[in-house]
Chain A
Amino acid sequence: MSSPVASRAAGWRLGPSTGLRIRPWRMVALALLALIVLAPSVYLAQTGGVLASGYTIQRLRAERNAWRVRNQQLELELAKSRSLAWIETEAITRLRMQPPIDRTIVRVDMPPPSPVAPPAPAVSNPTARFTSRTAP
């Protein structure tokens, strides 16, 4: 087994069986060559990837804008359906409603609120809570 100094001076072995030795400067040159050959490919691959992603983003952005516009159009339709003119037309023509002829205002004297709230009545039948409390 040779020392590191001896090894550097003599070059690196490629393998114990081949016996082929490569000089360090050749090794560096090979690495540089590999870098020169690979770098553009990597750069091109990356650029291509970024471009493809960019176009995808553009497409998705356009799609998002289109949906936004559609959403706005639907909101507009909603606003038109909520307009007083539309509601009046629907009430009069479809539901056959009429404006009130006269109004009666009933003033109710409310008792002052009691300090302690009474306990809630027990509900034996669970469906009872959805039924009217008034007598039929």
Chain B
Amino acid sequence: MPTTPRGARARLFLLGALFLGCAFVLSHRLFTYQFLEHDRFQRLASEGHRETIRIVPRRGALLAVGGHPLAVSVGMDAVQIVGKEVGNPQRTADALATTLQMPAAEILTKIDPRSDRPTIVKQRLTSALADQVAALNLRGVSLIQLPTRHYPEGSLAAQVLGFVGDEHKGLTGLELYFEDELAGRPGTLDTELDTGGQEIILGRRVLTPPKQGSDVVLTLDRFVQRTAERQLAEAVQQNKAIGGMILVMEPATGAILGMASWPTYTLSDAIEFVPQEQHLYKAVPVTNQYEPGSVMKVITMAAGLERGAVSPATTVNDRGIAQFGPTTIRNWDLRANGIISMTEVLARSSNIGAQYVADRIGRDEFYRAFSAFGFGQPTGVELPGEVPGTLRTPATADWAPVDLATNSFGQGIAVTPLQMLAAVAAIGNDGLLMRPTLVREFVSEGRVQRPEPHTVRRVIAPETARTLREMMTAVMEQPALEPHRIAGYRVAGKTGTADFPTNLGYTSGKTFASVTALLPADRPRLAILIRLDAPEKIYGGVVAAPILKRLGQELLAYYRIPPAPSGHSDGR
């Protein structure tokens, strides 16, 4: 049937209108995509192939003197499985079990066929083992490199070093205290990836480099630490004690060379947090306080000598008993020593003599001196959880006049072992109190930062310190301690025995037996504190002095400190 021109024109018009409509719709969509929603589509496109990769910085190492690594981070391979991608779970588990030396059943529990999230099967693989796993070429099984913390010296200085958690962040000890320095700052790489997940070289690439963690070189000497730990472990066992500690410090700088305490925990590479062992994770020498007992008489005597209240030749009539209101004070052996000099007050560890010195000083000056020695305030050492100790003064509400007497021989006052050692070390440093430190230097990306030793204050004059060291030498050279002398060396020291305080008073038969010493006496290179907790034989002179002899012999030989030429003096 022939078409009329009119009908043809109408169809042409319709077709034209249709094309025009389509062109309009297309133009509208084009305008919308290119201009109105440009940013959204740009973002969607970027999300498809752009990725911001987090660059994890290397965690800094903790090093001992001489650069010996105590805690280091190393990347190690881990095996991960994406359950959804695994073809045959049983076959995969069997193949991995043989290579990883793990039960196949354990691996099977980690394969969830519905999960598309990777599950770690085993961490800390050696490179050789990782190569074996890769060679298996199992579907759904891949290797991932994770940073892991290692302790090459084992449990050495475990409580001081601390450890890191699963997220590679410090949880205790120096690992926690220096978290910011050790962790560094992560960087980022904003880049474009191809369909295979590989970076497109010609794509836009914005790199923010990471700041690697700083290495911290400690003042700890691994030989000193090891020797202290060994001597302590043997002493605890021999004396049937429940614990103890040995601290070694350099008096001139306050550098802590060794800090051993028992009981401790096992610091392994793959350490797991055990809530029952939480009390062992603390650096006890700074977190726990105790009554130091007779060791404190040295500080009382220092205050007395410095203020001119007494001299080494000053005498006191020790009747063995003194009354303070309702409170009676007695000597440790319940005996009267008669008329004795101040040197004998220290040698015989006379409570009555110490109380006499405190009385001569006067309460305000006495507590001023104790505060100057650092008691009642944290030392500032780089360890978490340090406590200030307890020093009651006339300004505090619960102070009583009898406290002046008891404090003079180390009772009614609580200090941390590190405070006590720092105070005695000040006597060895000619009267300068140094802040104890565990850090020798920070090494960050090639730059070395060495903090200077920090002098807190002068607590006594150099002459007073020398006089006091002579008196302390007399203590260690008394006949009762003769078997524990170090042949060829003069040692200044003081033993102490303090009762265990409880909520119901003091526990009879349980003591803190301790000794603090300066080696050699004339020019001290080492300050040492040894404490045993609840030993079978309760006195410091009996249990701590022998440890001092053994430890001193090893350390003097290690540091090549020559004996005194005459056998009595180091030839100052």
Q: A residues near B, CB below 8 A? A: 47, 50-51, 53-55, 57-58, 69-70, 72-73, 76, 79-80, 82-85, 88, 103, 105, 107
Contacts and interface: CB of A to CB of B under 8 A. Distances in A.
Contacts of A47: 202
Contacts of B488: 105
A69 B156 CA distance: 25
Contacts of A105: 488, 562-563
15 contacts: A51-B200, A54-B201, A69-B76, A76-B150, A76-B152, A79-B69, A82-B68, A82-B152, A83-B154, A84-B153, A84-B226, A85-B226, A103-B553, A103-B557, A105-B562
A70 B74 CA distance: 9
Contact of A69 (B68, B75, B562): B75
A79 B563 contact: no
Given A76-B74, A79-B72, A83-B152, A50 B226 contact: no
Contacts of B154: 83, 85
B137 interface: no
A88 B557 CA distance: 18
B88 interface: no
A85 B267 CA distance: 13
Given A76-B72, A84-B222, A51 B202 contact: yes
B165 to A, nearest CB: 20
A50 B72 contact: no
Interface in B204-240: 222-223, 226
Given A50-B202, A84-B222, A103-B553, 14 more contacts: A51-B202, A58-B201, A69-B75, A70-B127, A72-B75, A73-B74, A73-B126, A80-B152, A83-B154, A84-B223, A85-B153, A105-B562, A105-B563, A107-B563
Contacts of A76: 69, 72, 74, 150, 152
B198 interface: yes
A54 B565 CA distance: 72
A55 B200 CA distance: 8
Nearest to B155: A85
B441 interface: no
A82 B63 CA distance: 14
A56 B152 CA distance: 36
Query: Which secondary structure characterizes the binding site on chain A?
Result: helix
A113 B403 CA distance: 62
Bin chain B's interface residue count: 20 to 34
A53 B553 CA distance: 65
Nearest to A67: B127
Contacts of B152: 76, 79-80, 82-83
Contacts of A50: 201-202
Given A76-B150, A105-B488, A85 B127 contact: no
A63 B563 CA distance: 57
Contacts of A69: 74-76, 127, 145
Q: Top 8 A-B pairs ranked by shortest CB distance?
A: A54-B201, A79-B152, A84-B226, A69-B75, A83-B153, A80-B152, A72-B74, A79-B69
A83 B154 CA distance: 8
A58 B198 contact: yes
Nearest to A83: B153
Given A83-B153, A84-B222, A73 B72 contact: no
Interface in B187-207: 198-202
A88 B202 CA distance: 56
A11 to B, nearest CB: 44
Contacts of B202: 47, 50-51, 54
Nearest to B563: A105
A72 B127 CA distance: 11
A76 B151 CA distance: 9
B229 to A, nearest CB: 10
Nearest to A79: B152
Contacts of B76: 69, 73
Contacts of B153: 83-85
B75 A79 contact: no
Nearest to A87: B226
Interface string B89-127: 000000000000000000000000000000000000011
A89 B418 CA distance: 31
A58 B198 CA distance: 9
A88 B233 CA distance: 16
B127 A55 contact: no
Interface in B231-288: none
Contacts of B565: 107
A101 to B, nearest CB: 11
Which of B74, B198, B202 lies at the interface centre, i.e. has the most chain A CB atoms within 10 A of its CB? B74
Contacts of A55: 198, 201
Nearest to A74: B127
Contacts of B222: 84
A105 B201 CA distance: 69
A37 B563 CA distance: 93
A70 B77 CA distance: 10
Contacts of A80: 152
A120 B209 CA distance: 59
B547 to A, nearest CB: 15
B152 to A, nearest CB: 4
B201 A73 contact: no
A40 to B, nearest CB: 16
A73 B156 contact: no
Which of A50, A51, A72 lies at the interface centre, i.e. has the most chain B CB atoms within 10 A of its CB? A72
Nearest to B154: A85
B352 to A, nearest CB: 40
A85 B266 CA distance: 13
Contacts of B145: 69
Nearest to A88: B226
A69 B226 CA distance: 30
Contacts of A70: 127
Contacts of B198: 55, 58
Contacts of B557: 103
A107 B562 CA distance: 9
Contacts of A79: 68-69, 72, 152
Nearest to B230: A88
Interface string B553-572: 10001000011010000000
Contacts of A85: 153-154, 156, 226
A26 B539 CA distance: 114
